Amino acid sequence: MAFVSGMMLIDAPASALNNAGAEEGARTDNTIAVKRITTRAGVYPYVSAQAVRYWLRTYLERSAPQWQAAPVFREAKIAYTDANPLRWWDDDLFGYMRAPSKRSGARSGETEENQTPVAGEITRISPLRMGTLVSIGPVKVVDDFGTMARHDGNPVPHEHQFYRATLQGLLSLDLSTAGTFFNGGRVGYRNLDEVRVKIAKEEKLEEAAVHGQPAFRLPGGERARRVSTLIRAIGELEGGAKLTLHYTDVTPGLTVCAVVKAGNNPFARIIRPNSQGEPEILIDALKEVLRVYKDQILSEVFVGWARGYMDDHRAKVEGLASEDLSGVKLRWGHPREVMHQLADELAKEANQSWYD
């Protein structure tokens, strides 16, 4: 059992990447507020994990020709994907929940093109775990006031919020459950109903006991192809709200990732804000992580760092290459470059044991 575990930083110089809707009590009726966490220390803007997963899904659909995206169906007030992980890559890696509707007004839709019929409730816990992107320190949220100026008469005011922050988030991908479809009775472990089990058997998928539960597994090469495509896309992330007004490059400025034995993320505490509120990497904390987790780290540690971003801290971390790191090796490059390299490692036949 192994996980791809990592941390990323996104530089948001003047942004409103995820919004909460109308602000109650604002000066104008149509004020749009950013999502934020309010604490005694101050205000921390954030981007929900759901939003980040949406950015990743849509980028893969647009930019990865091999990616097989599940169709979405609608019945009255509910929507769902096809919930067929054998066919659709995002149903496999992003998870799903689906049940036949019991409402009299619901449309069955079972005859629609590309829809796999469902016999009973099925759910799948997402192998991909994506943390909320949160500002590393409290910031001042700006209220921006404007008007519709292309008309005569009284102005039409509008207002929205934005911020300047560095957002930090964690990610994890469970390699043992990617391409592994459970057929047990526990909640979250009934990924397949009788319709999908029949398909799995027709396709002669391997049957195995995984985490103590009966399961079907795709061939190793197919599992690695899906995972590596997803990991590669993290270094090319696109998305965000208010891009027409606050265009923000959400490609990570810094990533630290590795394949590790356990699901805990060793890189969660290596960044903190300095006295000016700017991010700094804690060298001693990073060295401690590499020492304490050396028996858990299965790959090189892939450090993606874009030049021009936190350059003064980069030199300090690059100096670790000359130190004894208990046998752990660091691989350096641009975030896009090293995520591609990590994806290549995940696709190698020699590393198939990571998926056991």
Residues 13 and 37 in one domain: yes
pLDDT score of 109? 45
Residue whose tokens read 């954030």: 46
Residues 294 and 156 in one domain: yes
Distance CA 245, CA 329 (A): 42
Is 57 domain-assigned? Answer: no
pLDDT for 182-227, tens place per residue? 998 887 789 999 999 999 999 999 999 999 999 999 999 999 999 9
Residues 19 and 121 in one domain: no
pLDDT score of 89? 98
pLDDT for 141-182, tens place per residue? 998 877 766 767 677 777 889 999 999 999 999 999 999 999
Least confident of 37-41, 109-113, 326-330, 352-356: 109-113
Residue 22 has pLDDT above 70, yes or no: no
Interstrand relation of 142-148 and 156-174 (parallel, antiparallel or unpaired): antiparallel
User: Where does a domain end: 191, 217, 243?
Assistant: 217
Residue 17 neighbours by CB under 8 Å, 6+ apart = 34, 47, 51, 133, 167, 239, 240, 241, 242, 248, 250
SS3 label, residue 152? coil
Residues 119 and 236 in one domain: no
- Counted domains in the chain: 2
Residues 86 and 200 in one domain: yes
Is 278 domain-assigned? Answer: yes
Per-residue pLDDT, averaged over 295-308, amounts to: 95
Residues 36 and 98 in one domain: no
Distance CA 191, CA 183 (A): 6
Domain that holds residue 234: 1-48+137-176+219-356
Per-residue pLDDT, averaged over 270-279, amounts to: 89
- Whole-model pTM: value is 0.92
Residue 324 has pLDDT above 70, yes or no: yes
Confidence tier at 30 by pLDDT (50, 70, 90) = low
The β-bridge partners of 185 are none
Which range has the top average pLDDT, 21-25, 240-244, 276-280, 347-351? 347-351
pLDDT for 108-140, tens place per residue? 444 456 688 888 899 999 999 999 999 999 999
Residue whose tokens read 């030049």: 307
Residues 4 and 101 in one domain: no
